[in-house]
Amino acid sequence: MRAVLFTDARNHLNKLIKETMDQREPILIIGTKGRKDSVLISKEEYDNLIENLHILNNPKWIESIRKGIKDLDSGHAEKLTSSQVLSI
């Protein structure tokens, strides 16, 4: 993760936002003058993190995912493409 001082982040915010979107890599913003450190991530990455946290905090979903993986590994289920799932 690249680190940038707060002042540099403020002066180049548009560039840093584009960078996080293009490279899908967060940027650490180092606080100065008493400010706390922050992390800049794209909205897409943020949404993905929140969704994963939501799934990981639901034991029924975790068990369902484990069962699905076990069924795939044992040949008792068929792997579908996203277009196949959307057409069901």
Tens-of-pLDDT digits for all 88 residues of the chain? Answer: 999 999 999 999 999 999 999 999 999 999 988 899 999 999 999 999 999 999 999 999 999 999 999 999 998 888 888 898 888 7
Quick check: is 7 in a domain?
Answer: yes
Q: Distance between alpha carbon 43 and the CA centroid of its chain, in Å?
A: 9
Which candidate, 4, 75, 86, 72, places its Cα nearest to that of 37? 4
20, burial (CB in 10 Å: exposed 0-12, middle 13-18, buried 19+)? buried
Q: What pLDDT, on a 0 to 100 scale, did the predictor assign at position 45?
A: 94
Number of separate domains in the chain: 1
What is the CATH number for 22? 3.40.1620.10
| Residue 11: predicted pLDDT | 97
In a domain, 35, yes or no: yes
pLDDT of residue 31: 95
Structural domain range at position 13: 1-41
User: Is 49:70 a contact under the CB 8 Å cutoff?
Assistant: no
Q: Tell me the two tokens of residue 38.
A: 């922050």
